[in-house]
Amino acid sequence: MATSRIARPLARRLNARHVLSTQATPLRAFSYALPARSEQPPRTTHFGFETVPEDVKQSRVASVFSSVATSYDTMNDLMSLGIHRLWKDHFVRALDPGINPLIATPGAPPLSILDVAGGTGDIAFRLLEHAGRVHGDNTARVMVADINPDMLAEGRRRAAGTPYLSQGRLEFVEANAEVLSMVPDASVDIYTVAFGIRNFTNIRKALAEAHRILKPGGVFACLEFSKVGNPVLDAVYKRWSFGAIPLIGQVVAGDRKSYQYLVESIERFPSQTEFAGMIKEGGFLLPEGGGWEDLSMGIACVHKGIKPVEEKVRAEEPVKAEKPIYIRPSNPAQIPY
Amino acid sequence: MPPRLLRLSLHFLSARPAARLTRTTPHYPPRPIPTSTSSPRAYHAYDRPTPPPYPPTETAILTAALGRVPAHGFSKTALALGARDAGYLPVSTNLFPAGEMELVKFWCTKARLGLGGTVEKEGLPEGGVRGRVKELVRRRLRMNVEGGVVGRWGEAIALMAHPTYAPTALAELSRLADEILFLAGDASLDSAWYAKRAALAGVYAAAETFQTQDTSPGCVDTERFARERLGDVESLGKAFGDVGEWVEFTVHGVLNGLRSKGVRL
């Protein structure tokens, strides 16, 4: 039973590939002189284990999150046994947002944070609370951007119970992480994305956009499911995620397909090393130790990158070609050793 | 362990012929030293510059943060202010997952590498590894005073004693002991290698702890303390060596006595 459940997505993937390959070379009748070459195969991306055209993924992710929005918190608690709260707390504590007013530069703009894919406000509330409680910073501002209006509605509903909305420190915006045109260049101190980046259609494009809007020295911080290093734990975890999570989804939220997508998308997300490499390629500096920190043995993982400050001195320095270490003298008498 | 080996291993800083400190200069115009320091060579070579321990951005932030240590201590505040001084944002300190411990580590690394610099600039006294070790320990302790961190070093020791950071701190301490013995020209390759480093590390850690409470001008008391403890280690090593020699002699005597009585041994 369980094996068939695990094998099913695989079979589906094979099916999807098969369908795609037959579409790529359309049948043609003898009356055609040339093959139908004008139609480019659509650019594809992953949707769980399925391969779908890029423009389809966005709407399908949207439908997933629309359907889970109301039961999002309950489901997170059930699926992660409550551990997602610890991960989020740790993520925010390690990020340490907030500027103590005692050491703040007078007249400097308040700390500006953009929380992408944070519709329900989970991370945003924690960020603001940390800034106030730890640093006494009561001016930090968070903009929550999410592509999904249902998730944003959920966040707005919950924000009504906090003081931040009335203070004008919290803002909810519907936006695609790949096109954050409402945010000017170099204007954000911290860019956070928690359990969202694996749903992006084009992660590299989103990273480039993050690089654009961050101030030099600003931090890109991402909390996401990742790969478990320990094979024994990995086997248990896989069994749990493919066996239990869609079932919980079916029973509690009445929606199996969405949760099947969630676990498949976790499986498809790149490993720690690969994703850190993508962040580095995006032009970020990685912190000490490879730029990531595993949580719960790698079930979740915090990735960070810092946008470098362009230094004039370093830019002016001519790039020196790698010199050969030792050139053998042509005169044998000069050979030293 | 045979007594002879025991004596060797415990004879800390024994009066073996001091290895030549002067590094063997190549008898040919030295090869061009590669200017790029990016190559991750894991070995040490005399005629190659050691690659800097931190990348440029980290170095800039941490150097600026060290300037804030006398006022703000080894703290997140010093780090945040340092980041700002270097043209970064206070949140850029996310570059250092270890937080303030990175600042402590940076200071230790900087001072350790600085030790080699002082040797090249000022040279070292003649006369034995022991004397040079004492001089190098004195210079390293003096760096804490001159760097302005001595008033805050208690905080650093507290951080280094934290279970999360203790392995890093111990690794750094052993690197320092190794560096001091290397610069002093110690070239032992036997089991005493470990004993010497362990003893020196112990003395140095004790001296730094003493230094946090030292109120004498320029921490001269700490220097005296370190000198005396190193002297203790020497006499201890000598005592162990003497005891070893005595044990060896006695055992031989007993064995020979037994043999003379016809016991087959």
* Domain locations in chain A as residue ranges: 65-310
Residue recorded with tokens 């921490």: B219
Q: Hey, which residues does A116 pair with through a beta bridge? A: A145, A193
| Contact yes or no for B91 and A217 at CB 8 A | yes
- State how far the Cα of A126 lies from the Cα of A91, in Å rounded to an integer: 10
The shortest C-alpha distance from B55 to chain A (Å) reads 10
- State how far the Cα of B245 lies from the Cα of B14, in Å rounded to an integer: 14
Nearest-CA neighbor of A153 among A69, A237, A225? Answer: A69
Q: What is the largest CA-CA distance in chain B?
A: 85
Q: Are B140 and B208 in contact (CB under 8 A)?
A: no
Q: Average pLDDT in the A51-79 region?
A: 79
Instruction: Give the pLDDT confidence score for residue B26 in this predicted structure.
Output: 42
Q: Are B91 and B140 in contact (CB under 8 A)?
A: no
- State how far the Cα of B26 lies from the Cα of B159, in Å rounded to an integer: 44
Let me know how many helices (H) and strands (E) chain A has, helices first. Answer: 12, 9
The full length of chain B comes to 265
The one-letter amino acid code at B71 reads A
* DSSP calls for A13-35: HHHHHHHHHHHHS----TT-SS-
Instruction: Give the pLDDT confidence score for residue A83 in this predicted structure.
Output: 93
Chain B contact present for A159, CB below 8 A: no
CA-based torsion, A219, A221, A227, A228: positive or negative = positive
CB within 8 Å of A326: residues ≥ 6 apart = B31, B32
Side-chain half-sphere exposure of A214, counting CA atoms within 13 A? 30
Quickly state the pLDDT bin for A311 (edges 50, 70, 90): low
Nearest-CA neighbor of A218 among A112, A125, A303, A311? Answer: A112
- State how far the Cα of A198 lies from the Cα of A301, in Å rounded to an integer: 12
Chain A contact present for B222, CB below 8 A: no
The one-letter amino acid code at B5 reads L
Q: Are B132 and B183 in contact (CB under 8 A)?
A: yes
Which of A91, A92, A96 best probes binding to B when mutated, by most B CB atoms within 10 angstroms?
A96
- State how far the Cα of B122 lies from the Cα of B183, in Å rounded to an integer: 13
Chain B contact present for A322, CB below 8 A: yes
Nearest residue on chain B to A305, alpha-carbon basis: B95
Q: Are A83 and A46 in contact (CB under 8 A)?
A: no
Evaluate if residue A85 carries a pLDDT over 80: yes
Phi then psi for A188, rounded to 5 degrees?
Answer: -120, 140
Chain B contact present for A323, CB below 8 A: yes
- State how far the Cα of B211 lies from the Cα of B229, in Å rounded to an integer: 14
Evaluate if residue A113 carries a pLDDT over 90: yes
List per-residue pLDDT tens for chain B, 265 residues long: 444 444 444 444 444 444 444 444 444 444 444 444 445 555 666 677 777 888 888 999 999 999 999 999 999 999 999 999 998 998 999 999 998 999 999 999 999 999 988 888 888 877 788 889 999 999 999 999 998 888 899 999 999 999 999 999 999 999 999 999 988 888 777 777 888 889 999 999 999 999 999 888 888 899 999 999 998 888 887 888 888 889 999 999 999 999 999 888 7
Q: B243, exposed or middle or buried, with CB in 10 Å at 0-12, 13-18, 19+?
A: middle
Nearest residue on chain B to A97, alpha-carbon basis: B91
Percent of chain A whose pLDDT exceeds 70: 80
**Alpha carbon B153 to chain centroid distance?**
17
Q: Lowest-confidence range among A53-67, A73-87, A175-189?
A: A53-67
Q: Average pLDDT in the A259-266 region?
A: 88
The shortest C-alpha distance from A274 to chain B (Å) reads 19
| Contact yes or no for A326 and B31 at CB 8 A | yes
The full length of chain A comes to 337
**Alpha carbon B147 to chain centroid distance?**
17
Whole-model pTM: value is 0.74
pLDDT digits (tens, 9 = 90+) for A14-53: 444 444 444 444 554 454 444 445 456 677 787 877 787 7
C-alpha distance from residue A314 to each of A102, A309, A317, B82 (Å): 33, 11, 5, 20
Q: Is A331 annotated as a binding residue?
A: no
Which of A91, A92, A103 best probes binding to B when mutated, by most B CB atoms within 10 angstroms?
A103
| Contact yes or no for B57 and A285 at CB 8 A | yes
Evaluate if residue A160 carries a pLDDT over 50: yes
Q: B208, exposed or middle or buried, with CB in 10 Å at 0-12, 13-18, 19+?
A: buried
| Contact yes or no for B94 and A306 at CB 8 A | yes
Nearest-CA neighbor of B69 among B106, B109, B117, B96? Answer: B106
Q: Is A177 annotated as a binding residue?
A: yes
Q: Is A120 annotated as a binding residue?
A: yes
Which of A99, A287, A314 lies nearest to residue B94, judging by beta carbons?
A287
Instruction: State the angle between helix axes of A149-159 and A122-135 in degrees (0 to 180), rounded to the nearest 10.
Output: 40
Q: Are A256 and A250 in contact (CB under 8 A)?
A: yes
Which of B35, B57, B76 lies nearest to residue A320, judging by beta carbons?
B35
Q: Are A270 and A278 in contact (CB under 8 A)?
A: yes
What the block records as the tokens of A318 is 């001519």
pLDDT digits (tens, 9 = 90+) for A196-248: 898 888 999 999 999 999 999 999 999 999 999 899 999 999 998 899 889 98
- State how far the Cα of A259 lies from the Cα of A71, in Å rounded to an integer: 12
Quickly state the pLDDT bin for A314 (edges 50, 70, 90): very low
Record: fold of A65-310: Rossmann fold (3.40.50)
C-alpha distance from residue A98 to each of A129, A131, A140, A211, B126 (Å): 10, 4, 7, 21, 55
Chain B contact present for A100, CB below 8 A: yes
Q: Hey, which residues does A219 pair with through a beta bridge? A: A190, A306
Instruction: Give the pLDDT confidence score for residue B6 in this predicted structure.
Output: 44
Mean pLDDT of chain A: 81
C-alpha distance from residue B57 to each of A285, B41, B53, B166, B174 (Å): 9, 21, 12, 26, 27
Evaluate if residue A324 carries a pLDDT over 60: no
Q: Are A164 and A128 in contact (CB under 8 A)?
A: yes
How many Cβ pairs within 8 Å bridge chains A and B? 83
C-alpha distance from residue A31 to each of A23, A35, A40, A266, B63 (Å): 20, 11, 22, 47, 76
The shortest C-alpha distance from B32 to chain A (Å) reads 6
- State how far the Cα of A238 lies from the Cα of A206, in Å rounded to an integer: 28
